Amino acid sequence: MKIAKYNTKESTLLVGFPSNGLVGTFSVSYLIHHLKMKQIGEIEIPDLPLTLFVEEGEILSPIRAYNKNNLFVIISDVPFNQYLAEEFALAINEFCKKNAIKKIVIVSGMETVNQKNDNPKIYGLVTHSTLDSLLYNNQISKFLNGSIFGTDAAIISVFRKTNIPALVLYAECHPFFPDPEASIVAIVTLAKILDVKIDTKDIENKIDKLRIQYRNLMKETIQTLQQQQEKKTRTPQIYR
Q: How far is residue 152 CA from its own chain's centroid? A: 9
- What integer is the mean pLDDT of 186-206? 81
* CA pair distance 159, 125, nearest whole angstrom: 12
**Which is higher by pLDDT, 9 or 21?**
21
Tens of pLDDT along 48-97? 877 776 776 777 888 999 999 999 999 998 888 888 999 999 999 999 99
Angstrom distance (rounded) from CA 236 to CA 240: 6
Which CATH superfamily includes the segment(s) 12-239? PAC-like subunit (3.40.50.10900)
pLDDT at 137: 93
Residue 60: per-residue pLDDT:
82
Quote the CA–CA distance of 140 and 122 in Å, as a whole number.
7
The pLDDT value given to residue 65: 97
In this prediction, residue 237 carries a pLDDT of 42
Task: Tell me the C-alpha distance between 206 and 228, whole Å.
Answer: 31
pLDDT at 10: 84
Q: Model confidence at 203, in pLDDT bands (50, 70, 90)?
A: low
44-to-50, 64, 114 alpha-carbon distances in Å: 10, 9, 38
Distance separating alpha carbons of residues 14 and 107, to the nearest angstrom = 8
C-alpha 29 chain-centroid distance: 9
Band of residue 4 on the pLDDT scale cut at 50, 70, 90 = very low
Q: What percent of the chain has pLDDT over 90?
A: 47
Q: What is the pLDDT of residue 169?
A: 96
Ranges of each domain in the chain: 12-239
How many Cα atoms sit within 13 Å of 152 on the Cβ side?
Answer: 26
CA 46 to CA 237: how far, in whole Å?
Answer: 32
pLDDT computed for residue 238 by the predictor: 42
DSSP H helical ranges for the chain: 23-34, 82-98, 132-137, 150-159, 180-194, 201-205, 207-213, 215-230
Average pLDDT over residues 120-146: 93
- In this predicted model, what pLDDT tens digit does every residue of 85-114 receive, in sequence order? 999 999 999 999 999 999 999 999 988 765
Give the pTM. Answer: 0.82
DSSP one-letter code for 238 = G
Is the confidence at residue 236, as pLDDT, over 70?
A: no
Using one digit for the tens of pLDDT, what is the confidence trace for 153-172? 999 999 999 999 999 999 99
